[in-house]
Amino acid sequence: MSSESLRDRDRPLLVALVDGRPGVGAGHLGRSLAVVEAWVAGGGRALLADDQPLPDEWRERYAAAGAPIGTGAPDVLLVDGYGFDDRAVGSRRGSAAVVSIDDRERSGRRAIDLAVDVEPPAGGATTRVTSVRPLRCTGPRYALLRREVVAAADPSHRPDATEGPLRLVVAMGGAPTAPVRAALSSAVRELEATTDLAVTWLQGRDDVGAVLAASDLALSAAGSTAWELALHGVPAALVPVADNQVPVAAAVAAAG
C-alpha cells in the first residue's frame, strides 16, 4: 500500500446521501455541497452516494469539490432529503455519525446524531442549539452556503455600481413547474413594461455568486436562494413555490 493510500485512509470519510430526484429541486444538493466543500477544505475525504439519479451538472459540481460518486464505509453520513427513512439511513451508516439537514423535521423521525435546520425555531427565537441527542443547530445562523457564493459576497469582489438599468436577477428554483415559470415570466414582462431593467435568469448558471454580487434586486423562489440573497444584501421579492418555502419567506420578511 502506498504512503498516499495510508494518508487517505487516515482522513475521515464523509458520504453524502442527497435527494436530487427530478422535480425535487436543487436545495438539498446545494446545501449539502456547501458541507462537502467545508469538509474537504478541512482535510476530510468525501463521496457522493449513488442511490439516486442526479443531474449531470450537480454530479460534476460534487466531483469538482472533491466528492465523486462512490461507495465506502463513512465516518460521517450526511443525509439531506425527505424520502430517506431509517432503513435507507441504516443501510449506509455502519458505525458512522449521522448528520441530517432538515426543514422543521419534514424528513420525519430517524436515528441521527446531529440535525441542522436553517429555518428559525418556533417561539420567536432566531437561533437554538440543543445539548441532548440528537444535537440540533437551528436558525439562519446555520445557513449552508456554497463557497463561491460566500466568496463573491466579499466587498472587494463586488463590481462597481454602474448607471443604467436596474439589474434584476430572477431565480425560479431548481425544478420550477410550468405554472411557476409562467407566473414569474409574466411578472418580469410586467416589470419590463414599466421599468428599465437588465434581467438575468439564474437557473443553470454556475456563477451564482458573481450574478448576485452584481444584482440590484431579485425576484426569487423562497428556497435556498433566499439565504444567498440575504448574504449579498440584495432586496428581494420572495415567492414560496412549495410548502416548505413558506416559513423561509416569512422569516426573511420578518428580518427585514
**In CATH, what number is assigned to the domain containing residue 79?**
3.40.50.11190
The pLDDT value recorded for residue 109 is 60
- The tens digit of pLDDT for each residue in 44-57 reads 999 999 877 788 88
For cell 428599465, the residue is 196
DSSP letter at 145? -
Residue-range definition of the domain harbouring residue 228: 149-254
Over range 19-42, report the average pLDDT.
90
Identify whether residues 132 and 155 lie together within a single domain: no
The pLDDT value recorded for residue 126 is 55
Considering its fold, how many domains does the chain have in total? 2
Identify whether residues 175 and 247 lie together within a single domain: yes
Cβ contact 192:212 at 8 Å: no
Q: Across-strand partners of 226? A: none
Identify whether residues 34 and 117 lie together within a single domain: yes
Identify whether residues 59 and 86 lie together within a single domain: yes
Cβ contact 158:221 at 8 Å: no
Identify whether residues 121 and 177 lie together within a single domain: no
Provide the CB-side half-sphere exposure for 165 (13 A, CA).
13
% of the chain exceeding 70 in pLDDT: 85
Identify whether residues 16 and 39 lie together within a single domain: yes
Q: How far is it, in rounded angstroms, from Cα 145 to Cα 32?
A: 9
Q: Across-strand partners of 217? A: 168
- Quickly state the pLDDT bin for 103 (edges 50, 70, 90): confident
Q: How far is it, in rounded angstroms, from Cα 48 to Cα 55?
A: 13
Better pLDDT: 238 or 155? 238
% of the chain exceeding 90 in pLDDT: 51
Residue 71 identity (one-letter amino acid): T
- The tens digit of pLDDT for each residue in 56-100 reads 889 999 999 999 999 999 999 999 988 888 888 888 888 999 999
Over range 133-144, report the average pLDDT.
86
Cβ contact 171:188 at 8 Å: no
Identify whether residues 100 and 204 lie together within a single domain: no
Q: How far is it, in rounded angstroms, from Cα 217 to Cα 170?
A: 9
Better pLDDT: 251 or 108? 251
Domain end call among 144, 162, 182? 144
Mean pLDDT is highest, among 15-29, 210-224, 234-248, for: 210-224
Q: How far is it, in rounded angstroms, from Cα 218 to Cα 132?
A: 39
Identify whether residues 185 and 106 lie together within a single domain: no
Domain end call among 96, 128, 144? 144
Identify whether residues 96 and 200 lie together within a single domain: no
3-state DSSP assignment of residue 123: coil
Identify whether residues 187 and 120 lie together within a single domain: no
CA 235 to each of CA 168, 220, 223, 256: distance values in angstroms, whole numbers, following the listed order: 10, 10, 15, 9
- Quickly state the pLDDT bin for 186 (edges 50, 70, 90): very high
Burial class (CB in 10 A: 0-12, 13-18, 19+), 124: exposed
Query: Which of these ranges, 155-164, 191-200, 231-240, has the smallest mean pLDDT?
Result: 155-164
Q: How far is it, in rounded angstroms, from Cα 122 to Cα 132?
A: 18
Q: What is the CATH number of the domain that holds 168?
A: 3.40.50
The pLDDT value recorded for residue 174 is 76
Domain end call among 144, 166, 192? 144
Over range 110-128, report the average pLDDT.
71
Question: What's this model's pTM, rounded to 2 decimal places?
Answer: 0.86
- Quickly state the pLDDT bin for 1 (edges 50, 70, 90): very low
For cell 463557497, the residue is 147
Identify whether residues 80 and 37 lie together within a single domain: yes
Better pLDDT: 70 or 252? 70
3-state DSSP assignment of residue 31: helix
Identify whether residues 114 and 22 lie together within a single domain: yes
Cell of 233: 444584501
Q: What is the mean pLDDT of the chain?
A: 85
